[in-house]
Structure 1
Amino acid sequence: MYGMFRPPVSDNHVNTLPEKWFDQRVDHFNTSDTRTFKQRYFINNKYYKTGGPVFLYLDGESEAMDFIITDGAVAKYAEQFNALAIDLEHRYYGKSVPTVDLSVDNLRYLSSEQALKDIEQFILKLTDSLSLANSKWIAFGGSYAGNLAAWLREKYPHAVAGSVASSAPVEDRFEFSRYFGVVSQVLGTDCTNHIRDAVHQLEDQLKTPEGWLVISKQFNLCTPLNGTDQPSVQLMWFNLIMPFAVAAQHNGKPGVIGVQQVCKVMANDGMDDRSSTPLRRWSKLHKQFSKDECLAYDYGEAIKAYKNISKTSPVVQIGSRQWTYQTCHEFGYFQTTGLEDSPFGYRSVPVEYYLKQCVDIFGKQFTPQFIQKAVQTTNTYYGGFRPNVTNVAFPNGSLDPWHALGVLEDLNNSTRAVYINGSSHCLDLFPPQTTDPQELTDARKTIAKQLQLFLQ
């Protein structure tokens, strides 16, 4: 479904603004390296008035989509503040790939440090080329890009007057078992009890070859299950529990099967099939989630796809190889079922599953010790839960599992946490809907007030 990486913030939007290109250095920290690449960006000047601010939306681990600055929250704020709205694509994603391919050697230029320097240089040079010397810049970002928005204010405070870091998991974790812990809390006791029953039934089926055939049929596996192939079984587990994670993380977004729908299926609520078992209900939910496509779970085939370094590779084009590299090289964020009371199967998806991927995709140098040190270094450099920042708003939704790694309390008088009950991952950045909870509507007003303070 989502392969081996965190489900990104995504939308079926088609970009409508004309593409623009910025000459960016491949390596900002090597003065002898003069190579450059074209970094893509979009500009919406619909609401801009001379002297108004510049609202810069930072894309993260996926292709740039201009809907945030044409229809989303940044567009709404731009209208309110007469701002110029700009959307900047992250290096190595979408059309902003600086190297001929994505070999491990070429991926060394993919890091948050290089990305932050990209943003600073972009701001300085566009300020000059567009005559924006009298305009203050505000950075916006969601999820990993929310981290960048906050860290930009920390490392380059001269570049932006403030930042809005939505759903930003600023505390990196080697093993993020709390992710599925939050999912359990969001789904509630009754729902997770039904899930737990289904998981126990699946575990029983995994014990025999006859059970493997049942699983293959019930969950429409693309190939018959071999229960002795542990990495493939773990990949299957990951994909099968994703509907529950997506329901919590993306609840309330268009086209998403949300918490209420998931729990209704698992409870057999309103259904006539009295013979239905928890496992059959899980199977039904999976088929809704997968839209009846067969489930590809073969670990070897997945690794083969992720090892394809071509820029035209499907795994590269959707950003999966790149994001997996960033998790192995810098962030961790490995979403495991390592909590002892996990309803999703204790250690059905262990941290070793992710560590094996890092080695199998990128090489034996990506040892557990290497990754643990990298995560520790990142937290030390940026400050983890307590980045040294001023003028930053940190919105987080209570339904979003990533809020467990976010800033949930004010850091100082100008750096405020905006905790939104009933909201999900980055939902405050999406276009307002009539179904939005009142807390989300109020949060957007609070963010607007923070913007007003940043621009004083």
Structure 2
Amino acid sequence: PVFVCVGGEGPAFEKDVLYRSAHCNDMTELAPQVGALMFAVEHRFYGYSMPNVTNLSTGNLERFLSSQQAVADLKQFRIWAMGKYKIDVEAKWVTYGGSYPGMVSSYARLLHPHLFHAAVASSAPVRAQVDFQGYLNVLGQSLAVADYDVGGSPTCLSVMSNGHDEIGKLLKTDDGKRSLEKKFGLCGENPLDDKWNIAQWVGFGVIPVSGQSNDPTCKGYACDIAKMCKDLIDSAAAKGAFGALEEVAAKELQDSEEECKDITYSLDWGESLEVTNWVRVWQFQTCKEFGFYQTCVEGSGCPFTKGYSTVDFQLDPCVKLFNISAAQVYENVEATNRYYGSDTPNSTRVLWV
């Protein structure tokens, strides 16, 4: 058989794909057992195979960046590899991927079942959606999970949630905002007077949470859920939930060697106007195809400060960077679901795990 590790929103792993891969580890473990030939195919515009690294203009992205183009590239790669490596025409091709690459893996099987025998889609959404509230809900649940090497605990989730609730209360007054700016070392004059700055700071947690990678072998401070939870719980025993967030955030800032933490939203999207800024690439795909905006709203299971990181906040870059309106984003996501089948794709031999 032939196994293909499908690329996504980052560079391919070079030779690392032969023995470990964030998206295709099942593939690398199974391949020696069945004598499979392995390939890793990088996604257009991500990593070293960008068509033009100096031109990420909207026009260029419109022409060449889409999941449909990625599937077409996989098809063309298969045709090329068959001749280049003289692969038996009876060999079965299986695609692998995780998250967005998992989606592309499933699409290859859906659109070209005569070329790809099966597909594995790990942690891959089946349906595109604008408001991807479930993402941070699951992240919150993960902080409470101690089993399966996740490293969380109910106490950890409680500290994280309660600390962010306290931040939410302080954000309701000017005095509270000034206090937060001082305690968390935020840059600039009164940055929390801007609602988008607030959303950028609290919507994904005032300290980094390694929800997707969560590598237990990492070496940095609070670099996975287990280490972060230990630091939070130890600190909360003496300083409470809010004090624990403050202390961990201070250590993160110290390690960054920055004098203060910059949460200026306008600076971020302003830099993304530059046609060489790689951040534009995935942002464009969310606006043009998928949405997947990880909101943190009132009444959700998000463990951070709720009510600021809304759909409106996350749709704003679509207008500013690509002139794609909110209404167009919703239409684009619906078109994606119609094309691929949404919750009921018309495909077989796709393993969603």
**Contact kept in structure 1, 2:191 and 2:263, CA below 8 Å:** no
Q: 1:381 maps to which residue?
A: 339
Where does residue 45 of structure 2 map in the other structure? 92
Give percent identity, aligned residues only.
Answer: 29
Correspondence for 2:245: 282
Whole-angstrom CA distance in 2 between matches of 1:254 and 1:265: 17
Q: Which residue of 1 aligns with 2:17?
A: 68
Residue identity in the other structure for 1:201: E
Partner secondary structure for residue 95 of structure 1: helix
Matched, 1:58 2:6: yes
One-letter code aligned to 1:60: G
Q: Is the 8 A contact 1:215 1:225 kept in 2?
A: no
Q: Which residue of the partner structure matches residue 151 of structure 2? A: none
What does 1:5-404 correspond to in 2, within 5 Å? Answer: 53-66=1-14, 67-72=16-21, 73=25, 74-99=27-52, 101-108=55-62, 109-134=64-89, 135-188=91-144, 189-241=154-206, 243-244=208-209, 246=210, 248-255=211-218, 257-268=223-234, 274=238, 276-289=239-252, 291-292=255-256, 293=258, 294-310=260-276, 313=277, 316=278, 320-342=279-301, 343-363=303-323, 366-395=324-353
8 A Cα contact 1:196 1:344, kept in partner: yes
Distance 1:260 1:376 in 2: 38
DSSP-derived class of the 1:243 partner: coil
RMSD, aligned CA: 2.3
Q: Which residue of 2 aligns with 1:454?
A: none
Q: Is the contact made by 1:332 and 1:371 (CA closer than 8 Å) also made in structure 2? A: yes
Q: Which moved more, 1:215-224 or 1:371-380?
A: 215-224
Q: How far does the alpha carbon of each residue in 1:86-125 deviate from its partner, in whole angstroms, 9 at most, with x for none?
A: 1111001112222450111111121001110011011012
Note the C-alpha offset of 1:280: 1.9
Q: Please give the TM-score of this superposition, normalised by the length of structure 2.
A: 0.85
- Whole-angstrom CA distance in 1 between matches of 2:299 and 2:114: 46
8 Å contact 2:133–2:300 — kept in the other structure? Answer: no
Provide closer, same or farther for how the CA distance between residues 93 and 239 of structure 1 changes in structure 2, counting only shifts above 3 A.
Answer: same
SS of residue in 2 equivalent to 1:268: helix
Higher helix share: 2
Give 1:107's aligned amino acid.
Answer: L
Deviations 1:218-267 (A, max 9, x none): 323233442221111111113535634x2x43334432733333333333
The alpha carbon displacement at 1:212 in A equals 3.1
Q: For residues 223 and 253 of structure 1, what CA distance do their matches in structure 2 show? A: 36
Contact 1:216 1:223 in 2 (8 A): no
**Deviations for 1:161-215, whole angstroms, at most 9, x for unmatched residues?**
1111111112111101111211222223543332332123212332344433432
DSSP 3-state at the match of 1:151 = helix
Under a length normalisation based on structure 1, what TM-score does the superposition of the two structures give?
0.67
Q: Is the Cα contact below 8 Å between 2:99 and 2:122 reproduced in 1? A: yes
Whether the 8 Å contact between 2:203 and 2:296 is mirrored in structure 1 is: no
Distance 1:148 1:220, change over 3 A: same
Partners in 2 of 1:242 and 1:348 — Cα distance? Answer: 16
User: Does the C-alpha gap of structure 1 residues 287 and 85 become closer, same or farther in structure 2, counting only changes over 3 Å?
Assistant: farther
1:192, 1:71 → 2: CA distance?
31
Aligned partners of 1:146 and 1:164 also within 8 Å? yes
8 A Cα contact 1:219 1:283, kept in partner: yes
Cα distance in 2, alignment partners of residues 132 and 63 from structure 1: 26
Counterparts of 1:282 and 1:224, CA distance in 2: 22
Cα distance in structure 1, aligned partners of 2:216 and 2:97:
18
Q: Secondary structure at 2:11's aligned position in 1?
A: coil
1:284-343 deviation digits (Å, cap 9, x = unpaired): 233455634443210111011111102xx4xx1xxx210011001100000001251444
2:306 match: secondary structure? coil
Is 1:146–1:165's contact at 8 Å kept on the other side of the alignment?
A: yes
Deviation of 1:379 (Å): 1.2
Of 187-196 and 81-90, the range deviating more from structure 2:
187-196
> Is contact 1:69-1:87 (8 Å) kept?
no
* Paired amino acid for 1:121: Q
Displaced runs of 4 or more, over 6 A: none
Structure 1: how far apart are the matches of 2:109 and 2:202?
Answer: 39
Does the CA contact (< 8 Å) of 1:338 and 1:346 recur in 2?
yes
User: Between Structure 1 and Structure 2, how many residues are aligned?
Assistant: 329
1:57–1:69 CA contact under 8 A, matched in 2: no
Residue 333 of structure 1 aligns to which amino acid in structure 2? F
| Structure 1 pair 287–392 and aligned structure 2 pair: CA distance change class (3 A) | farther
Q: Secondary structure at the match of 1:263?
A: helix
Give the letter aligned to residue 96 of structure 2. Answer: F
Please list the CA deviations of residues 397-424 of structure 1 after superposition, one character each: whole Å capped at 9, or x if unmatched.
xxxxxxxxxxxxxxxxxxxxxxxxxxxx
